[in-house]
Each structure stands twice: as C-alpha cells, then as structure tokens.
A and B are shown apart, each in its own frame.
Chain A
Amino acid sequence: MKALVWHGKEDIRCDTVTDPEIQEPRDAIIKVTSCAICGSDLHLFHNFIPGMLPGDIMGHETMGEVVEVGSGVDGKLKKGDRVVIPFTIICGECDQCKRGNFSVCETTNRKRYLAERVFGHTTGGLFGYTHLTGGYPGGQAEYLRVPYADTTHIKVPPGIPDEQLLFLSDVFPTGWQAAVQCDIEPTDTVAIWGCGPVGQMAIRSAILLGANQVIAIDCLPERLSMAEAGGATTINFESESVVERLNELTDGRGPDKCIDCAGMESHVMASQPDTLLDRAKQMVMLESDRPHVLREMIYVCRPGGIISVPGVYSGFSDKLPMGAFMNKGLTMRTGQTHVNRWTDDLLRRIEEGEIDPSFVITHTVPLSDGPEMYQVFRDKRDSCIKVVLKP
C-alpha cells in the first residue's frame, strides 16, 4: 500500500509499504477513505517531538471502512462498518478509561517504558506519533491497523460526507475539550490564541457552549477571516498589542478564560524579544518549546480565570511567570484529547445540523501529494488552513 512515511526532519515521503495485518484478536483493519494533516504533524515534521524513527507512518486523523476484524472484536465492529478512528488508542477497561480519561489509557502504549522514563507515567497509545506514545503506524495510508478496535472507533452513519465526520478523530473534539475545560459561563469572554484548525474548532465550541464574547488571536488574514465568520472578534498580533486590545475588549478585566491553540511553536517576532530568545534556544537545543502564548495568557488572564491548553508542548519551557500564575489564582487545564468522551455529543450536533466541521478544509489532494502539502501547510502558502488527503 501507499503511505506517508517519516524519514527525518522535513523529509516525509509517499512510500510503498507492506499492508498491515491483524496481529491481535482485538485488531481491525480499515480501508482509509479520508485522512488529514494535523498541526501537530508539523511538530513531527520539524522533529521537535522526540522519539520518531525513520520508517514511521504519519497520520492520526483518519476514517474509513472496516475490511477485516480480529476474533476478539466481539461483534462490536463488522466488515463494511464506516468508522472514524480517534487518534487516542483506548482499551476501555483500565481505571483511566473507566473515568473517561481516555488519552491517558494505562494499557495501550506498547512502549510504556519510554513514557514512564520521560513523563513519569505512561500515557495512552497514539496513532502516527512519537514512540513515546507507542510508535503505532498512522493513518496517512491506504490501510490502517486499529489496535483495540472494539473500543478505538467511532461508528458513523452513512449519508454524511467524510468531510463532515473526519474531524471527530481529533481537531473537533480537541477544540471542544479545550472549551469545555474552561467551564464557560454566559457572561464569559474567552480568548483563543492561534486560529489554525484546532483554534477554529475552539472558537465554534466556545460559541456553542454559550460564551458571551470570543476573541481570536492570530496574524494570518485567512485564518482571522475564518475566525470572524465563526463569531469571534479578532486581534492581529502583528499590527496591534494583544494585551492592550484584550484589556480594551474586557473593560480592563482581562479575558475570563484563555485557550492556547498555538502550542510549542509560537510565532517569532522582533517586537516580542522573548520569542526571539526562545527560538534561539530551541535552535541550539537549550529549550524544547516556545511558550510565548502561555506567558501572555498568564499575564492577561483575569484573576481567578482558567487557562486551557490543547496546543502541543513536547518537553521543557523556560521563563514561565509562575509568580503571576500563582498570585492571580489561575487554573490550568491541559492534555491530549479524551476523544471518545465527546464524540457521541459532537456526532449528534453534526447530524442535527448544529455545526458542520468541513468549513475548515481548504485543500483536498490525493495521498501521493501529501509530502508537498506538508510544506504548503507549514509555510502557510496558498492560504492553507486544513489539508484532507484522499488515498
């Protein structure tokens, strides 16, 4: 089969690889009908997340049709079922899964010894990601082996196009969880840094959860225009001061809730010296993350507020203002997304026409064009916001 394979920093190729096979009784094989490039794939593309090996198949936003099931799937899936595959692999049986903390499933990380060393404890297995999370082959391919398939799937009905359902795998529940973690109240102002796909979903989620005002922060006109279409007031951080504008829009109180959808690769600007220092340190491997957004959120958030971090961080962040964080009594909530905790509700909202996540797609191309689209997406060429690949 064809698959997008990681060969090193900025080197992803469309290779021919052997087809996946059933290895365990709870496995299933799906024929991929649509998959997407995620913002966090770019962190892997840049080799900022440790634990990738040449030969790893990329991709964790995937859907398709079941073509084979193992003997232990117990009728929960059958050949021909249409499924979206959550990026988190879940056993459904461990204590964390029972609590709904699916992304920290205690069972599915097949390289838990690495996670225990680096993170202190194991986290769940993820598709198409670092070996710290199991190094499972990803779904930017023609076929995907789904381990623990009896629990690791979202069954979706026929009649709804792939484009509306695909993002149940990651970006939609990720934006949703980011907003839910904010405990949004009807009087709240929610500020969202980063208007990439997760940021766009977080904007819509905050609106659907009843936020009074949503403010979106980015510098790219196409992203800001999409954020505005979703109901956000926008701030272009290249042409105005984020802190001043946020205080203006909240009568000096600061936003009640802040969401970081930018993560470890914050934009670098001469007017923000900390971003230059972070970039220099990241280049010479003295710091793994560029946490400018975290610093700004802590500084501007209303005392007693909540900071929600769906953006990916990989290792160590310097110069976080813990004094402000502590004295303002802020709460930080973060984590990889507990996808299956949210997908029943989100699928219902899609079916009822409350939201159509396909709004975010700007490019649809064959799988073989994937490597080039990584560059287009990375460089923000052609007003690219979200790429869907068709095997």
Chain B
Amino acid sequence: MFHFSNIVRTKGDPKIVEGGPSLKRPEDQLARALGWFSIGLGVVEFLAPRRLTETLGMEGSETLVRAFGLREIVAGIMSLSVDKNAGLWARVGGDGLDAAALLSGLTADNPKKGNIALALLMVGGIAALDYRAAQNTKPLRPARDARRKLYPNRSGYPRGIEGARSAARQIALAMKSKS
C-alpha cells in the first residue's frame, strides 16, 4: 500500500522503505467494512426503494425504505468516523428497526414471504457482526472514577510561584516608571 503513497511524495522527501506494524485491530477493520456496507445499502434503499419493496412483497412502504436508507447512510458515516462506536451502536438499533419492519410484512397472504425470511436471516447475521464490532470498539478512555496520577508539585517555576509573581511585578513597575 505504501508504494502508492511513495508515488505522490514530493521529490526529495523521504519515502517508505519498510512499513511498520499498524495499530489497527481486526475489529477496526470490521467496523470500517460495516460502515461502507451501511452506506452502500443506504444508497440502494434511498435510490431504488420500489425494487426492494417488490422483492419483499411490501409495496406501498417505499417512503419507509427511503427513510431507512438515510438512516443507513448516516450510521455508515458515523461508523467510519472517529466515533465509530456510536455509529456501530446506531447500526445495532437500526438492525432492530429493520427486523421489526420485515416482521410486519411476514403475513400469510404475502407471496414473497420466503424473501422476507431470507432478509430476516441476513439482518440477524449482520446484527451479530454489528453487535460484536460495537462491543469490541468501546473507547479505551479511563472511567471517570478511575484512579489518576496528580501533579501538585509541578509548578514549572524553579524559584517558586511567588518568585514568578514578584518578577512580573518588577517588570510592571519598571514599565510604569519608564512611561
């Protein structure tokens, strides 16, 4: 991958000879993949809702599918952002909404109920991945009540704070007498 970045380097700038290890974990890669998947699915739902409703035998729900498409796009962008955890939890919630909407179409008189069952299966699989990624990408910030080191002796003034204040006062006096 770094060979491409070497091509765009300004002439004379250091180029990568050997790449070091990445801190990206498999769960970060999964979050990224889910983010892009979410955007892709969202675009399809937003642009071609009729095709989806026809496949599922849920004609008349196009507006709902469009709204779900927007939701997928937003959750996808969030999953690709620094706050990917929030995006992934938004996706988990969205999976619940998807499942509920699909279940509402799983009626005896729906000739496409086989497709709905398949879609439910897919939503279940994706939801499991979303949940796993959300669990594994929790922010590593210490808890609010975690024990912290304090630095009460780090004033930065070798002559003490009073020394610093008196130096400032002397300068102010000198400037006053000058003016």
Contact = CB atoms under 8 A, between A and B. Distances in A.
B154 interface: yes
B69 to A, nearest CB: 15
A137 B13 contact: yes
Contacts of B86: 283
A53 B167 contact: no
Nearest to A222: B148
Contact of A208 (B24, B74, B87, B167): B167
Interface stretch (B56-64, B92-100, B110-118, B168-176): B168-176
Interface stretch (A152-160, A330-338, A356-364): A356-364
B128 interface: no
B78 interface: yes
B83 interface: yes
Nearest to B18: A16
Nearest to A201: B156
A284 B74 contact: yes
B20 interface: yes
Nearest to B154: A359
Interface residues of A, number: 69
A200 B139 CA distance: 26
Contacts, number: 178
B78 A283 contact: yes
Interface stretch (A98-106, A247-255, A308-316, A371-379): A371-379
A296 interface: no
B168 A209 contact: yes
Contacts of A137: 13-14
Nearest to A226: B151
Nearest to B7: A55
A241 interface: no
Interface residues of B, number: 56
Contact of A16 (B17, B78, B150): B17
Contact of A55 (B8, B82, B164, B165): B8
A20 interface: yes
Contacts of A1: 14
Which of the listed residues A135, A141, A208, A282 has the most CB atoms from chain B within 10 Å of its own CB?
A208
Contact of A379 (B17, B140, B155, B161): B140
B150 A225 contact: yes
Contacts of B144: 238
A26 interface: no
Given A204-B156, A379-B142, A381-B141, A17 B172 contact: no
Nearest to B9: A55
Interface in B64-120: 74, 77-78, 81-83, 86-87
A10 B144 CA distance: 23
Nearest to A23: B12
A57 B14 contact: yes
Contacts of B17: 15-18
B24 A355 contact: no
B22 interface: yes
B26 interface: no
Contacts of A383: 148-151
A79 interface: no
Contacts of B12: 21, 23
Contact of A210 (B18, B20, B141, B172): B172
Interface string A245-286: 000000000000000000000000000000000010011110
Contacts of A354: 157-159, 163-164, 167
Interface stretch (A63-71, A89-97, A228-236, A297-305): A228-236
B23 A18 contact: no
B51 interface: no
Contacts of B139: 379
A121 interface: no
A220 B148 CA distance: 9
Interface string B16-41: 11111111100010000000000000
A186 interface: yes
A229 B152 contact: yes
Contacts of B9: 55
B4 to A, nearest CB: 8
B77 A15 contact: no
A11 interface: yes
Interface in A17-33: 17-21, 23
A217 interface: no
A7 B19 CA distance: 10
Which of the listed residues A20, A47, A135, A221 has the most CB atoms from chain B within 10 Å of its own CB?
A221
B159 A380 contact: no
B134 to A, nearest CB: 15
30 contacts: A7-B2, A10-B82, A15-B2, A15-B16, A15-B18, A15-B19, A20-B13, A48-B82, A55-B6, A110-B10, A135-B10, A207-B157, A207-B164, A210-B169, A225-B151, A229-B156, A230-B155, A231-B164, A238-B144, A279-B83, A284-B78, A353-B159, A355-B164, A356-B157, A357-B156, A360-B156, A368-B20, A371-B23, A375-B140, A381-B142
Task: Rank and list the top 9 A-B pairs by shortest CB-CB distance, nearest first.
Answer: A55-B5, A359-B156, A210-B168, A383-B149, A225-B150, A13-B20, A17-B14, A54-B5, A16-B18
